[in-house]
Structure 1
């Protein structure tokens, strides 16, 4: 299992290499520099480098350090565009297939730092009821942190690929009462995570996403009137 903080380091270095911030053949920051930047132990940094080597992003030479490789070819498949409310309903079906399981794993693996960040995201989301753009950002931060807390780089990558697009914010969600309801659902997930209750966290996430789907269906019905 990869810790959430190690997964964050893997994702950050992968992004730098893909974006060209670190060129092929260029030496990556030293182990001590990465430990300081990401507040990680020596073993966690080495675990991240091992993961990046396995993915083909990094080559490590004993006594010389770790060097970026040319990033592997990007997958040829791309996510379908999300343009309509029907697309968002389909996206929620996809999220229902993976996020309850992620919440269950996070209940077993979340650190105190993860839980504190999730609590902050809930409070910020509640406070952004009148500011849709901010609400979307805090909503996404909550779901992304759960994925990170699993320590599973594939789950985190799936959420990162979706980005804030995964957060449905139609007209009905702009109402403060709807944001309050969604924030309450977030709190139920957080409570289960704090209790280390895997089944409860998965059920709470499923309830939240099902309620989001119901709110979206209400928006579809509204637009047809």
Structure 2
């Protein structure tokens, strides 16, 4: 278990020395979040370990408590650590280091926020799409799904086909503001898609097939004009994608500290 300022310094230095990870972008809390995440991903703070104290982390990372607490809050939201009343915070999930290798520098926290945005926007777009979709809308959705099927068979990344499917859902809502809102975030969204699909290619083929089943669930709900099911299917899909970013080794936790992991891939 990593405790004490020197051990945190060593862990932080080791993470910072990894090629290509110069943590200069993003807000200060985001950079601190990524440095702690790197320590956990590298195993310097192991699954099941109690996190070092706020004093030790602030001293080693040279940040204020408010900044550190924002970073820790994000780690809790991402189910990487949990707090136990009267005991402190514990590492319950070790994300794969590939998260930091695939993601652009300083972007991991923003990727997570983008997933939150998508769940809200695209969930409602799917709801309206189920009410308003036309035959041409269904043809566009079906074409995107077929291209995704082809990408899975060919072992290709499939980011463009994935993006086309989600754009087609927004267009089927017959409300241009959903498309405009999503387009305004396109760069962030594509970063997240590239990350999740790259990570999926490192897993057994079943991972991508399960992702595709989620796409088909959205398609079928829209086809069947079931708005509530379409909304839930889309929100679940986006939330599952967010959770898959931080999929890794999970510690056994006490009942009061357990968290919901959603659908796993």
State whether structure 2 residue 181 is matched by structure 1 residue 158: yes
| In 1: Cα distance, 2:137 partner to 2:207 partner | 25
Q: Which moved more, 1:135-144 or 1:209-218?
A: 209-218
Please name the residue that 2:222 is paired with: 193
State whether structure 2 residue 207 is matched by structure 1 residue 182: no
State whether structure 2 residue 170 is matched by structure 1 residue 147: yes
Identify unmatched segments of 5+ residues in structure 1.
Answer: 1-80
- Per-residue CA deviation, residues 148-180 of structure 1 (Å, 9 max, x unaligned), is 111111111112222264142324222433321
Query: Deviation at 1:219?
Result: 6.5
Query: Deviation at 1:89?
Result: 1.1
| In 2: Cα distance, 1:125 partner to 1:145 partner | 14
State whether structure 2 residue 124 is matched by structure 1 residue 101: yes
Residues 147 and 127 of structure 1, relative CA distance in 2, 3 Å threshold: same
RMSD over equivalenced CA pairs, Å: 2.2
Question: Are the equivalent residues in 1 in contact too, given 2:114–2:189 (CA < 8 A)?
Answer: yes
Structure number with the higher helix fraction is 1
Query: Deviation at 1:204?
Result: 0.5
- Per-residue CA deviation, residues 109-151 of structure 1 (Å, 9 max, x unaligned), is 111111111011112112213111xx10000000001111111
Which aligned runs of 4 or more in structure 1 are off by greater than 4 angstroms? none
| In 2: Cα distance, 1:155 partner to 1:89 partner | 20
Please name the residue that 2:231 is paired with: 202
| In 2: Cα distance, 1:125 partner to 1:205 partner | 17
Alignment partner of 1:169: what SS? helix
- Aligned pair partner of 2:111 in 88, 96, 121: 88
Residues 219 and 143 of structure 1, relative CA distance in 2, 3 Å threshold: farther
- Per-residue CA deviation, residues 71-120 of structure 1 (Å, 9 max, x unaligned), is xxxxxxxxxx9952222111101111111111000001111111111011
- Using structure 2 for the length normalisation, give the TM-score: 0.49
- Aligned pair partner of 1:172 in 192, 199, 217: 199
Identify unmatched segments of 5+ residues in structure 2.
Answer: 1-103, 251-265
Residues 183 and 82 of structure 1, relative CA distance in 2, 3 Å threshold: farther
Question: Are the equivalent residues in 1 in contact too, given 2:129–2:172 (CA < 8 A)?
Answer: yes
State how many pairs are aligned: 139
- Using structure 1 for the length normalisation, give the TM-score: 0.57
